[in-house]
Structure 1
Amino acid sequence: MQKTAKTELTEKPGPHRGVLDLAHAEQNFALRRYYPSSRLVPFIEHFWIIHWDLRGRPDYTAEVLPHPAVNLAFTRERGWITGVTTAKYTYHLEGAGDVLGIQFRPGAFRAFFGRDVHEITDRTLPATEVFPAADDAFRLALLDRPTDAEIVADGEALLSAHRPAPDPGVDLIGRIIAAVRDDRELASVAVVASRFGMKQRTLQHLFKTHVGVGLKWIIRRYRLMEAAEIAESGTAQNWTAIAHELGYSDQAHFTNDFTRIVGRPPTDHARHVARE
């Protein structure tokens, strides 16, 4: 691989939404996120780099609630593409290592993929299936770079070499997702469709083909992220009231959804993160 020009990095501030048990996670690995250059802004949400050194310490399993986005990632052992994951994502850390990850903007990977993104929901592909240049030599040289700036620069160069024309639908998808993430009143596809002046069928088709999951799933996932953050804050007092605030008709449905995605009921998760 040729020497990569230095890239000026701008770190993306936290919080790292979706990382479960963040306080213990930060004791076991360092996560940094960086904004892409202007030429990749239409496609990339951010680059993320994880460094860990657990030599002489117990292994650690990181748990992450999924975002509605495709990720491309590289370790020294492999490079892979992960479609939207509808279950909790876990990653086992041992010894020492590094990962470069590239999180695409919701809907933006379709332009690189050339097909409907729902085909890879809950699936992984070798990186070379979409980015042939991301072979063993690329991957090993990438993670031998001494700085985050140089690692990101290699990632930028790889994507820039395959950069398609921007898809105008990505901006609309981004506005819709930001709205449902931040506004609890947008609790159903019908309400969102009305807010954005779209037919429900059109909205559902857009999200299936470009994002890989339905908008209803995305709405529910952001509410569960909020619930996990409340549990981890130690401030939850009335889960029935919290369930209603998050748009659930009753606590039982909320608890079932929370347990299915997090792996523990809300009260158990609060106790889990409170451990020493």
Structure 2
Amino acid sequence: MIDAWRGILYPARLPQFHRLLPPAEAAELVEWFWIPEWNIEPGRTSRQHVVAYPALNLVVDAGGVELTGASTRASHRDLTGRGWAVGALLKPAAVAALIEDPSALRDRSTRFDAPDLHRAVTQAMDESGAVGREHAATAFSAWLVERVGEIGPVARQANEMSALLMTDSAITRAEDAAARLSMSVRTLQRLAHRYVGFPPAAMIRRRRLQEAAQRVREHPETDLSTIAAELGYADHAHLTNDFLAVLGIAPSAYRAS
């Protein structure tokens, strides 16, 4: 299973934050629902940093519904005032029913016309506490199940591809994943393009960077060169270059922060 906290760069800075697994009927469509709720003092801002999974998110908040594409770099969101959001980290099988070309949303988002989804989730979040969050996830799941319909074998194969690329540290090249899935590299690339909008090699690099950031953060006693070697980086410099390219900060500076 994908580590639900691996992409959060500064967990201690999070506002009230919840992750809910989808009900069984939506398990092939959603990895998890993420629900932040915040109440920031007037005049203050809470900046949340994320190195996102190579996946699409469908997000409902008080203002509407937004479909967010996979990102090539770390991103942040500034929270002010009081609010909430209910996001679904989508599995590839859900993507084809929502957008024709997910690569067109890379590093950006777009408003998504789903007034019935917005209404159902907003009504649920008007309830208090855990009950409201559970009802929101249930309503969101029901909407997705109806929207996607029957899941075909290719969509299930895309789910399998994504899970493999994002969880198996033995997969270091697209060729490794293609062999494991008994398909050609070209077929793997087509699946990733249609259902994720991210090349397989980039998905592997993102998994490795997320794992590196988590180890740097959670194991301050471990030498950075050791982390680099354990995760398949050529050397410490390779790890540093990856951090700088995506996070904009060196691993040593990230650890210090």
For residue 109 of structure 1, the aligned residue among 84, 94, 119 is 94
Q: Which residue of structure 2 lines up, in the alignment, with residue 144 of structure 1?
A: 126
Q: Which residue of structure 1 lines up, in the alignment, with residue 50 of structure 2?
A: 64
For residue 193 of structure 1, the aligned residue among 172, 175, 178 is 178
Partner secondary structure for residue 113 of structure 1:
coil
Deviations 1:45-94 (A, max 9, x none): 22221111222583211011111221111221232110112221211111
Deviation at 1:240? Answer: 2.6
Partner secondary structure for residue 254 of structure 2:
helix
Indicate conservation of the 8 Å contact 1:234/1:270, yes or no: no
Partner secondary structure for residue 162 of structure 1:
helix
Is 1:40 matched up with 2:29?
A: no
Q: Pairwise mapping of residues 65-104 of structure 1 onto structure 2 (< 5 A)?
A: 65-104=51-90
For residue 12 of structure 2, the aligned residue among 9, 13, 23 is 23
Deviation at 1:221? Answer: 0.7
Q: Which residue of structure 2 lines up, in the alignment, with residue 133 of structure 1?
A: 116
Indicate conservation of the 8 Å contact 1:75/1:143, yes or no: no
Residues 216/14 of structure 1: CA separation in 2 closer, same or farther (3 Å cut): closer
Deviation at 1:39? Answer: 2.3
Q: Which residue of structure 2 lines up, in the alignment, with residue 5 of structure 1?
A: none
Q: Which residue of structure 2 lines up, in the alignment, with residue 124 of structure 1?
A: 109
Q: Which residue of structure 2 lines up, in the alignment, with residue 244 of structure 1?
A: 229
Q: Which residue of structure 1 lines up, in the alignment, with residue 143 of structure 2?
A: 158
Q: Which residue of structure 2 lines up, in the alignment, with residue 212 of structure 1?
A: 197
Deviations 1:137-194 (A, max 9, x none): 5665454333212322332343244232213233333333333434333111122222
Structure 1 length-normalised TM:
0.82
CA–CA distance in structure 1, aligned partners of residues 23 and 89 of structure 2: 14
RMSD: 2.5
Residues 233/177 of structure 1: CA separation in 2 closer, same or farther (3 Å cut): same
Partner secondary structure for residue 61 of structure 1:
strand
* Range with greater deviation from structure 2 (197-206 or 169-178): 169-178
Residues 133/204 of structure 1: CA separation in 2 closer, same or farther (3 Å cut): same
* Range with greater deviation from structure 2 (258-267 or 145-154): 145-154
Unaligned runs of 5+ in 1: 1-11
Alignment length, in residue pairs? 254
Residues 209/13 of structure 1: CA separation in 2 closer, same or farther (3 Å cut): closer
CA–CA distance in structure 1, aligned partners of residues 58 and 163 of structure 2: 22
For residue 169 of structure 2, the aligned residue among 181, 184, 191 is 184
Q: Which residue of structure 1 lines up, in the alignment, with residue 188 of structure 2?
A: 203
Deviating above 4 A after TM superposition, structure 1's stretches of 4 or more consecutive aligned residues are: 12-15, 137-140
Deviations 1:93-150 (A, max 9, x none): 1122111111211x1233312523222222212120xx35346x56654543332123
* Range with greater deviation from structure 2 (225-234 or 181-190): 181-190
Partner secondary structure for residue 50 of structure 1:
strand
Unaligned runs of 5+ in 2: none
Indicate conservation of the 8 Å contact 1:13/1:33, yes or no: no
Deviation at 1:249? Answer: 1.9
Partner secondary structure for residue 165 of structure 1:
coil
Q: Which residue of structure 1 lines up, in the alignment, with residue 242 of structure 2?
A: 257
Indicate conservation of the 8 Å contact 2:95/2:195, yes or no: yes
CA–CA distance in structure 1, aligned partners of residues 107 and 88 of structure 2: 17
Is 1:227 matched up with 2:216?
A: no
Indicate conservation of the 8 Å contact 1:145/1:151, yes or no: no
